[in-house]
Chains A and B, each alone.
Chain A
Amino acid sequence: MNAPDRYERFVVPEGTKKVSYERDTKIINAASFIIEREDHTIGNILRMQLHRDPNTLFAGYKLPHPLQYKIIVRIHTASQSSPMQAYNQAINDLDKELEHLKKVFQAEKIRIENISL
């Protein structure tokens, strides 16, 4: 009867930002990114990609509560970089990786089909 609508799990409510940025008040080059309506799918690939960046001193994410449909990604970087820069870099690199993966997948399909002919 009073169950929340199912779409609340993946539709960002009007007037809410998908990603908000919160700078740490005490530590320089540390910040949290609050990503609305995302889960481990995005959280974990971002975290692992950030770990590949040597300027990132810390990267982690949490899903605060299963019924709060948001994740918090926390990044702490060295002084040469900034959390925002590391975050953008991670997304760009992942994007390129997936684009590459899609290309090799399509090429592999063509290769397989030519063999079976």
Chain B
Amino acid sequence: MDGVTYQRFPTVKIREMKHEYMKFELRETDASIANALRRVMLAEVPTIAIDLVEIESNSSVLNDEFLSHRLGLIPLVSDKAMDMRFSRDCDACDGDGQCQYCSVEFLLNVRCEGDQTLDVTSQDLRSADMAAMPVDFEIGRGFDAGGYDHSNDKKGIIIVKLRRGQELRLRAIARKGIGKDHAKWSPAATVTFMYEPEIHINEELMETLTLTEKLNWIESSPTKVFDIDPNTQQVVVVDPEAYTYDDEVIKKSEAMGKPGLVEIYAKDDSFIFTVESTGAISAYQLVINALEILKQKLDAVRLSDDTQENDEQFGELRQHMGGVS
């Protein structure tokens, strides 16, 4: 039986790739692989996040556990998380923050002295390890989409606001973890995939419609999938992927007494993925890490040698017994 294989050879086409956003096409595989990839990206790709907080002094308006929770949710740059150890597997330490293999220590020491309210942000977290700093969103670089000028804004994520005389001093330990344990470790903001739609317009039947009927029919779709060609006045597909499998155009053609105006299939071996990361790792790295994790998971579910041997002995035993089966 050696050499027999039912392996597939999927293809990938990246449409758009930014640091924390990516859109790609995955073809020649099935929904189980696409969904496994999505699930692993959301819940099983490791990142680092603050997991233990020792508060030395807190005279802010927020209580200690509220602050600790907020600290945990701050995304940290986790490029080295794949090579780190989980604290529970680390035999070099007891997870106290001094261990280079499994933890990163952060210090925060802020006191408000002026009359102005002081914002304590993720940028105030100090760490000895430059590779695990809080994610920098680079707000304050010019104007946003709404035309609002951010150039005077302080960068970082606000943790708490202090008024005169209030202070916050703490030590935090960040550890490696996965989204399955707690959502703060999830590197994914959103991961979605959709089947690629295949839209066939019945041109012959479509030409029996008047222009107003055509426009009415086009309007029945909640998303802009179809349009009129201004030259030929024919209905054309402008954006097949805008189709949300809502069946509205199909219902409309039936209501107009012209069933079969359009046929729409979902190609079940072709997927369009959208991946958005929190910034902890890049969207591209998120996909690569997910593939690696999935491979490791598969290796972990291989049968152990002793299980296989036990079964072989059992098979022989059955043969001695005269093949009772």
**Residues of chain A at the chain B interface (Cβ within 8 Å):** 6-7, 9-11, 17-21, 23, 28, 33, 35, 38, 40-42, 44-49, 52-53, 80-81, 84-85, 87-89, 91-102, 104-106, 108-109, 112
Contact = CB atoms under 8 A, between A and B. Distances in A.
27 contacts: A11-B88, A17-B304, A18-B301, A19-B307, A21-B303, A23-B311, A38-B301, A41-B39, A46-B301, A48-B30, A52-B6, A88-B302, A91-B301, A92-B5, A94-B298, A95-B295, A97-B7, A97-B9, A97-B10, A99-B295, A101-B12, A101-B291, A102-B291, A104-B10, A108-B12, A108-B14, A112-B14
Interface of B: 1, 4-14, 17, 24, 29-30, 32-33, 35-36, 39-40, 44, 88, 178, 180-182, 284, 287-288, 291-292, 294-295, 297-304, 307-308, 310-311, 314, 325
B32 A44 contact: yes
Determine chain A's interface SS by DSSP, over half rule.
Answer: helix
A33 B207 CA distance: 58
Contacts of A99: 295
Given A10-B178, A10-B180, A91-B298, A108 B36 contact: no
A92 B5 CA distance: 9
A104 B295 CA distance: 15
A42 B33 CA distance: 9
B293 to A, nearest CB: 10
Nearest to A109: B284
Given A93-B5, A95-B295, A109-B284, A40 B39 contact: yes
